[in-house]
């Protein structure tokens, strides 16, 4: 049986824009925005649960959204397709078409978070740990946008969650997988939140979980640039796991 003969696959469908009169809404950007909003609300809930100021989380999220978009775009431009953007510099600003490095967004948002929380004279680790609590929900929703525009096609597969692309090849779809990964991690966080957790637990769990999953999934990608057989995200995934392990040790010692 060939891959194209498999019937129990997800059919290919694409949804890129929503037209409301003269207004065109890009679906990818819409889901990214909804992810930020939902993630912010969930993080605010955790902040209140810990006796923190949820308004601080909401204000930080606004800054993190800007930093994440800028950092994510720069990461994509510099690490994934610099030659194309050198030839088409105006396309650097076309973020509604997709093309963000989630790790570039993570790094930029983390830098802004440290500066913001320090400026407010707050405990950086405590508020960062609450803020990260909402990130899996944000990734779950935001990555739905990636799935709907299919900007991360993978290798051929007969896996039940494979998507039959227009070329009639069933492929892994990383937008779908990363969305489901966000959902799974959000449920783990919800389970952990039933009991009071020490500061740093959510940072450690997120970093290790996401880093390991992303490192493994990138072996199934087809169009990413690679440096010495690994994608940029895989190198950054290793760094994220190292940070998570350090955070776990630090938390356990406390």
- From 113, 116, 84, 111, select the one nearest 99 (Cα to Cα): 84
* Residue 179: band (very low, low, confident or very high) from pLDDT cuts 50, 70, 90: very high
> Residue 219 pLDDT > 50, yes or no?
yes
pLDDT per residue as tens digits for the range 229-243: 899 999 999 999 999
> At 3, is the pLDDT very low, low, confident or very high (cuts 50, 70, 90)?
very low
Strands (DSSP E) contained in the chain are 10-11, 17-20, 23-26, 153-156, 163-164, 170-173
For the stretch 152-173, pLDDT in tens is: 899 999 999 999 999 889 999 9
Give the CA distances from residue 223 to residues 152, 219, 220, in Å, rounded to whole numbers and listed in that order.
8, 11, 10
CA-based Rg of the chain, rounded to a whole angstrom? 19
- Average pLDDT estimate for 188-210: 97
* Burial tier of 223 (Cβ tally within 10 Å: 0-12, 13-18, 19+): exposed
- The angle formed by the CA atoms of residues 107, 207 and 158, to the nearest 5 degrees, is 105
Report the chain's mean pLDDT, rounded to a whole number: 91
pLDDT of residue 98: 63
Distance CA 57, CA 47 (A): 7
In tens, the pLDDT along 78-106 reads 888 888 888 888 888 877 666 788 999 99
Find the mean pLDDT for residues 183-192. Answer: 98
Tell me: the pLDDT tens digits for 106-147? 999 999 999 999 999 999 999 999 999 999 999 999 999 999
Short-list 211, 218, 205, 216, CA closest to 241:
211
pLDDT at 4: 45
Q: Given a cut of 90, is residue 223 above it in pLDDT? A: no
Asked whether residue 6 carries a pLDDT value surpassing 50, the answer given is no
Q: At 15, phi and psi to the nearest 5?
A: -135, 105
Reported as a single tens digit per residue, the pLDDT across 10-66 is 888 888 888 888 888 889 889 999 999 999 999 999 999 999 999 999 999 999 999
Is the predicted pLDDT of residue 1 greater than 70, yes or no? no
Domain extents in the chain: 3-196
Backbone angles phi, psi at 154, to 5 degrees: -115, -165
The predicted structure's pLDDT at residue 2: 45
């Amino acid at each position: 049986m060939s891959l194209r003969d498999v019937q129990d696959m997800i059919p290919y469908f694409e949804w890129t824009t929503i037209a409301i009169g003269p207004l065109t809404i890009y679906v990818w950007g819409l889901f990214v925005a909804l992810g930020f909003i939902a993630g912010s609300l969930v993080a605010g809930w955790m902040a209140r649960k810990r006796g923190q100021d949820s308004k601080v989380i909401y204000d930080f999220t606004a800054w993190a959204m800007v930093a994440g978009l800028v950092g994510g775009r720069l990461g994509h431009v510099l690490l994934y397709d610099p030659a194309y953007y050198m030839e088409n510099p105006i396309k650097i600003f076309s973020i509604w078409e997709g093309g963000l490095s989630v790790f570039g967004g993570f790094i930029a948002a983390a830098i802004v978070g440290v500066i913001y929380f320090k400026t407010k004279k707050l405990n950086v680790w405590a508020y960062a740990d609450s803020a990260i609590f909402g990130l899996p929900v944000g990734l779950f929703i935001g990555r739905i946008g990636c799935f709907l525009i299919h900007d991360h096609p993978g290798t051929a597969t007969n896996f039940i969650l494979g998507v039959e692309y227009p070329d009639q090849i069933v492929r892994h779809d990383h937008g779908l997988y990363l969305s489901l990964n966000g959902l799974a991690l959000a449920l783990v966080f919800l389970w952990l939140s039933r009991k009071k957790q020490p500061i740093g637990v959510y940072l450690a769990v997120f970093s290790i979980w996401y880093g390991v999953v992303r490192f493994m999934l990138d072996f199934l990608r087809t169009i990413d640039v690679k440096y010495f057989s690994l994608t940029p995200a895989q190198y950054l995934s290793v760094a994220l796991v190292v940070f998570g392990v350090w955070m776990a040790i630090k938390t356990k010692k406390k």
